[in-house]
Each structure stands twice: as structure tokens, then as C-alpha cells.
Amino acid sequence: EAGVAQSPRYKIIEKRQSVAFWCNPISGHATLYWYQQILGQGPKLLIQFQNNGVVDDSQLPKDRFSAERLKGVDSTLKIQPAKLEDSAVYLCASSLLQASGRELFFGEGSRLTVL
Amino acid sequence: QKEVEQNSGPLSVPEGAIASLNCTYSDRGSQSFFWYRQYSGKSPELIMSIYSNGDKEDGRFTAQLNKASQYVSLLIRDSQPSDSATYLCAVTLRGQNFVFGPGTRLSVLP
């Protein structure tokens, strides 16, 4: 079974530029998550999708971050304009169902450096 | 008050010893509890899940949950250098999102 795919693995941009990350979850997984992990910290949820609907985006900085999950499969996370504090690893995860007790499967992550 | 708290470490133990990792959470409605291991530069991977009070054992790992004290722990017996990693405690709140703690860095010394 293929795992969660993410791209690009690494991205370096200057502040005020834009960047987009792509995620393809495990086939059949209805729930998709984007987490931001700053060095030395635990992952912080940015947005959660159930199929193609948003379940929780309360911690997403909506003035600069946007995300979509068209057709309930793959997803894109965009940052525009980027700030220095956006330097982090962006982890995509998926799970079979939203209900508690379901394991999260993580992708390898996309490491963003903002100069 | 942070939702999920862990000692950041590093926690250093000698090879063969028992490593004890602790986690506290603030929401009494929390339902499911997980321990993830994250090697440097890698993504988190699930080690243990626990849903009811008591102990749950899986090989060298034992998860312990005490909902009254809002406390969950992970014991690693016969620690190996390959266990050196950051251990993340995760909690599902109100049956919804996974909330992660800051992680505890474990170093197992040969």
C-alpha cells in the first residue's frame, strides 16, 4: 500500500514570496490533515479535511495560508506571502475516518526555509 | 494552559535501562491517547495507542493511562540506542483533532 505522498521535499524562498505544497493521502482515507512543525516543537494542526469539506481550520493563518482538497483526494497548501516565521516542516497526514482512535499516517514532510 | 504537556528533555538513559516518558493533558473529555516516535529529519510514526485506564503492553513498550490524573506515560524496557528519538504524545480532544505535545527527546547511551 502506498503511503502519504508529499512534494516538494524541500523549498527555499525569500520572504513575501509564495509557495505551494501538495499532498496525496493513502487511497481510501477520508480525512486529511496539514500540520506545521517548527524545529524543536510538536506538530501543530493547521487544517483538517473530511472528504472535500473543512472540519477545522481554526489555527490556519487565513490572511496568508490557504488550503483546498478538490474531489476529496489530494490537497494543496499555499502560503502567500511567506514570513520568516513560516520556516518549518509541513506535514500531511491522513486517516481512515475522523473518529477518535484512528491512526494518523504521515508523509515525509515538506521542509520550508524562508530567507 | 497548554493542552498537552511533556518534558522536553533530553532524557538520557544507559543501554538496557528502562526509559520513562510522561505526558499530561488538560481536557478531561480527551478520549484517545497515542505515542509517536520521530527520528531526526523524519516524520512521526505510531508506537502505541491506549483508550482506557490501565496498562497496555506491546513488546518492549508499555503505555499507561490514568484519566483521573490526566496522565499518560510510555515505558521502554531494555532501551536500545536505536530508540534514541523524540517521542510525541498525542491526544484526541472531544473525538476530533489530534493534538500533539512538544515531544521529549530520548537519548540511549551505549
CA distance A73 to chain B (A): 19
Longest dimension (CA), chain B: 42
Say whether residue A43 is in contact with chain B using an 8 A CB cutoff. yes
β-strands B104-109, B11-14: how paired?
parallel
Q: Tens-digit pLDDT profile for chain B (110 aa)?
A: 568 999 888 999 999 999 999 999 998 888 889 999 999 999 999 999 999 999 999 999 999 999 999 999 999 999 999 999 999 999 987 656 788 999 999 999 99
Binary contact (A44, B44; C-beta < 8 A): no
CB-CB contact of A43 with A37 (8 Å): yes
Say whether residue A106 is in contact with chain B using an 8 A CB cutoff. yes
- Residue A88: which H helix or E strand, with range? strand A88-95
Q: Residue A76: its pLDDT value, please?
A: 97
Grid coordinates representing A30? 477520508
Tell me the per-residue pLDDT of A23-81, one tens digit each, with 9 for 90 and over.
999 998 989 999 999 998 999 999 999 888 998 899 999 999 999 998 889 999 999 99
Say whether residue A101 is in contact with chain B using an 8 A CB cutoff. yes
Tell me the per-residue pLDDT of B23-45, one tens digit each, with 9 for 90 and over.
999 988 888 899 999 999 999 99
| DSSP track, B78-103 | S--GGG-EEEEEEEESTTS-EEE---
Return the residue in B43, B46, B49, B50 with the most chain A beta carbons within 10 A, the one to mutate for interface testing: B43
β-strands A19-24, A88-95: how paired?
unpaired
Q: Residue B40: its pLDDT value, please?
A: 92
Q: How many other CB atoms sit within 10 Å of the CB of residue B105? A: 18
Grid coordinates representing B104? 521529549
Tell me the per-residue pLDDT of B89-98, one tens digit each, with 9 for 90 and over.
999 876 567 8
Query: E strands of B1-110, at which residues?
Result: 4-6, 11-14, 19-25, 32-38, 45-50, 54-58, 61-66, 71-76, 85-92, 98-100, 104-109
Nearest to A106 among B44, B49, B99 (CB): B44
DSSP 8-state secondary structure symbol assigned to residue B43: -
| pLDDT above 60: residue A89 | yes
Q: Residue B57: its pLDDT value, please?
A: 96
Q: For chain A, percent helix, then strand, then coil, each to nearest 5?
A: 5, 50, 45
Q: How far is CA B26 from CA B12, B30, B67, B98, in A?
A: 27, 8, 11, 14
